[in-house]
């Protein structure tokens, strides 16, 4: 498989699975590829369709990502976008339905949210707790929350001290630290990618022999963006060939039930389209808009003023739905957030185009009217304003940094210096 044709081959895999889901399984949650029908597994949300939406757009979130990416796909959006829209309302409605059934995991595996007692006391980095660690890091970046990152770093130290044995992460009893399950799960393949997100040293990041392609390819994509090691492209090529050789059937792609004899299970879970295919495509498509390093962006007029969208730094949630951090800050009503977007725009233009731009802040108008008394008073008020603006600056603002460094604070983890 030539490198140039790899994205198209992955796209062909997507449509084989997606078309068969629509033809044989919609509106059920999942396709059953061996019997060419569908089944509900997660509450009858047409989950595969929702999970596949932003993968479609990446190749041209579920609902939230599709909402944020809809304008880029050429879809007409309503006034007030990205702070309003039909897909955003659907995402909010779905979230409200799902919230009552969610369980919350911390250090162990599962906790009973009614009794506040631990149901499973095995501590590790795999199933049951993987998304929690992932959201501590990505939530810290997306929400600018230092406490979340501090929590993760505390856990990270404990994980290295108690669960890491040579090149493996095992499961230990959360109170005693003794090994409870000497196993390495396939879901744990997300861990190298998470280390890249928090800028850990590459020498501490490695792959083990795992067969959960979604998490494996996720980490391969992050690592390739950070290192440009062509070996990772070959890994992706091998994954594509293995999936097509073993899993492809007439009505989609089936899950492998037993690796020893390659027996197939009658399921095509939604994450195949949401994660596996998306990360494969992004691994092979270096020019995809998801990889934007801040060199291009869209300036949008929202109910709260102008803001920048699509400048990169997308944060993937645990199901590989990309979220533009700028959209979150765009839709906040606080004036401080508007000023930060304006500062980003002014600095970018001054660095890239050496032009001056004037931005009018509604909160400054009253102050300007008070400054008309005399030139001296105006000068003093101006100095006072500058001091006030400096005090209002949040973590998003750092005038001494270049534009791409500011985006790094917003979540930009990929820098293409080639």
Q: Which of 9-18, 312-321, 348-357 has the least mean pLDDT? A: 348-357
Give the pLDDT band (50/70/90) at residue 299: confident
Final residue belonging to a domain, choices 253, 269, 289? 289
CA angle 52, 238, 199 (to 5 degrees): 70
Q: What average pLDDT does the structure give for the chain?
A: 76
Q: State the CB neighbour count (10 A cutoff) for residue 75.
A: 14
Q: Which of 201-205, 213-217, 221-225 has the least mean pLDDT? A: 201-205
Q: Do residue 262 and residue 326 come from a single domain?
A: no
Closest CA to 253 of 230, 272, 276: 272
Is there a domain that residue 377 lies in? no
Calculate the alpha carbon distances from 60 to 20, 23, 297 in Å: 20, 22, 17
Integer Cα distance of 157 and 224 in angstroms? 25
Mean pLDDT of 124-149: 88
Strand partners, 299: 308
CA angle 326, 327, 330 (to 5 degrees): 85
Q: Do residue 169 and residue 238 come from a single domain?
A: yes
pLDDT at 306 over 50: yes
pLDDT of residue 414: 40
pLDDT of residue 366: 43
Give the pLDDT band (50/70/90) at residue 407: very low
- 301 compared with 292, residue with greater pLDDT: 292
* Domain limits for position 336: 298-372+392-410
Final residue belonging to a domain, choices 289, 314, 337? 289
* CB under 8 A, 24+ apart: contacts of 49-54: 49/21, 49/22, 50/94, 50/270, 51/270, 51/271, 51/273, 51/274, 51/319, 51/321, 52/14, 52/18, 52/21, 52/270, 52/273, 52/274, 54/274, 54/278, 54/321, 54/322
Mean pLDDT of 50-65: 78
Mean pLDDT of 386-408: 41
Q: Do residue 134 and residue 187 come from a single domain?
A: yes
Q: Do residue 325 and residue 281 come from a single domain?
A: no
Integer Cα distance of 251 and 25 in angstroms? 10
Give the pLDDT band (50/70/90) at residue 111: confident
Q: Do residue 277 and residue 206 come from a single domain?
A: yes
Mean pLDDT of 217-236: 93
Q: Which of 112-126, 202-216, 381-395 has the least mean pLDDT? A: 381-395
pLDDT at 25 over 50: yes
Q: Do residue 323 and residue 277 come from a single domain?
A: no
pLDDT of residue 105: 60
Integer Cα distance of 362 and 303 in angstroms? 13
Integer Cα distance of 36 and 129 in angstroms? 33
Is there a domain that residue 385 lies in? no
Give the pLDDT band (50/70/90) at residue 211: very low
Is there a domain that residue 256 lies in? yes
Mean pLDDT of 28-36: 96
Report the share of the chain in percent with pLDDT over 90. 28
Is there a domain that residue 382 lies in? no
pLDDT of residue 255: 93
Report the share of the chain in percent with pLDDT over 70. 70
| Pair 87, 63: CB distance under 8 Å | yes
Is there a domain that residue 22 lies in? yes
pLDDT tens per residue across span 229-259 = 999 999 999 999 999 999 999 999 999 988 8
Q: Do residue 202 and residue 225 come from a single domain?
A: yes
125 phi/psi in degrees, rounded to 5? -120, 5
pLDDT at 70 over 80: no
Is there a domain that residue 379 lies in? no
- 80 compared with 62, residue with greater pLDDT: 80
pLDDT of residue 84: 79
Mean pLDDT of 91-113: 62
Final residue belonging to a domain, choices 289, 306, 332? 289
Q: Do residue 58 and residue 177 come from a single domain?
A: yes
Q: Which of 289-293, 336-340, 393-397 has the least mean pLDDT? A: 393-397
Q: Tell me, yes or no, if the pTM score tops 0.85.
A: no
């Amino acid at each position: 498989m030539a490198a140039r044709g790899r994205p198209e081959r992955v796209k062909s895999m997507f449509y084989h699975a997606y078309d068969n889901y629509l033809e044989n399984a919609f509106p059920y949650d999942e396709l059953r590829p061996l019997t060419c029908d569908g089944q509900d597994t997660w509450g009858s949300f047409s989950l595969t369709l929702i999970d596949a939406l932003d993968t479609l757009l990446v190749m041209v979130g579920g609902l939230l990502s599709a909402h944020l990416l809809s304008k880029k796909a050429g879809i007409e959006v309503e006034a007030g976008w990205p702070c309003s829209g039909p897909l955003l309302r659907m995402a909010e409605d779905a979230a409200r339905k799902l919230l009552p059934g969610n369980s919350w995991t911390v250090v162990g595996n599962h906790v009973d949210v009614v009794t506040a007692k631990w149901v499973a006391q095995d501590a590790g980095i795999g199933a049951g707790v993987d998304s929690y660690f992932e959201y501590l890091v990505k939530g810290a970046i997306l929400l600018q929350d230092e406490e979340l990152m501090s929590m993760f770093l505390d856990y990270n130290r404990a994980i290295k001290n108690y669960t890491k044995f040579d090149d493996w992460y095992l499961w230990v009893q959360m109170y005693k630290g003794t090994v409870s399950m000497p196993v390495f799960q396939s879901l744990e393949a997300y861990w190298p990618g998470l280390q890249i997100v928090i800028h850990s040293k590459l020498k501490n990041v490695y792959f083990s022999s795992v067969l959960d392609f979604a998490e494996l390819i996720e980490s391969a994509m992050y690592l390739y963006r950070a290192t440009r090691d062509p070996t990772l492209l070959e890994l992706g090529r091998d994954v594509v060939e293995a999936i097509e050789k073993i899993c492809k059937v007439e009505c989609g792609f089936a899950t492998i039930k037993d690796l020893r004899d390659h027996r197939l299970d009658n399921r095509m879970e939604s994450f195949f389209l949401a994660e596996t295919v998306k990360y494969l495509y992004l691994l092979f498509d270096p020019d995809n808009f998801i990889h934007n390093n801040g060199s291009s962006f869209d300036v949008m007029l929202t109910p709260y003023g102008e803001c920048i969208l699509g400048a990169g730094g997308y944060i993937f949630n645990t199901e590989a739905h990309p979220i533009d951090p700028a959209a979150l800050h765009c839709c906040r009503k606080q004036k401080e957030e508007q000023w930060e977007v304006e500062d980003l725009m002014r600095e970018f233009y001054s660095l890239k185009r050496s032009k001056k731009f004037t931005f009018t802040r509604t909160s400054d108008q009253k102050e300007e009217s008070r400054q008309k008394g005399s030139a001296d008073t105006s000068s003093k008020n101006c100095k006072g304003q500058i001091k006030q603006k400096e005090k209002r600056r949040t973590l998003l603002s750092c005038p001494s940094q270049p534009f791409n460094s500011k985006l790094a604070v917003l979540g930009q983890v990929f820098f293409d210096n080639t």
